[in-house]
Amino acid sequence: MATTDLAHELARTLKESEQFKHFLKSKEKVMSDANNHKMVREFQLKQWEIREAQMLEQEISEEKQQELERLYSLVSINPAAREYLQAEFEVSCMVNDIQKIIGEAIQDAMPIGFEDMNP
């Protein structure tokens, strides 16, 4: 079987997985309620902002940290938002595992100068 055929089969398998189906249902539930959608969006944007600052080794203000904690407390008590974030996490873990497997398989194909980098 050709490599691209296997990639298409993997994509189909991912879409048909229970984790992905659950993710889509929980996403639809959040998207159907404007308040839930806004709350999850604000939480994820703040989370992304803080992660980006951490990656750039920037200091995170106490105010930003408290805002993230406030948003987290809101999404954690909202069943639809909590379910969506958990489902998103599970799909993300599944995709990360697949990327790790592929990365390890092609490690020898790294360009010269990148051989010592760990995936």
Encode pLDDT of 41-66 as tens digits.
Answer: 999 999 999 999 999 999 999 999 99
> How buried is residue 105: exposed, middle or buried, by Cβ count under 10 Å (0-12/13-18/19+)?
exposed
- Model pLDDT for residues 72-105, shown as the tens digit of each residue: 999 999 999 999 999 999 999 999 999 999 988 8
3-class DSSP string for 3-59: HHHHHHHHHHHHHHCHHHHHHHHHHHHHHCCHHHHHHHHHHHHHHHHHHHHHHCCCC
- Sketch the domain layout of the chain as residue ranges: 24-95
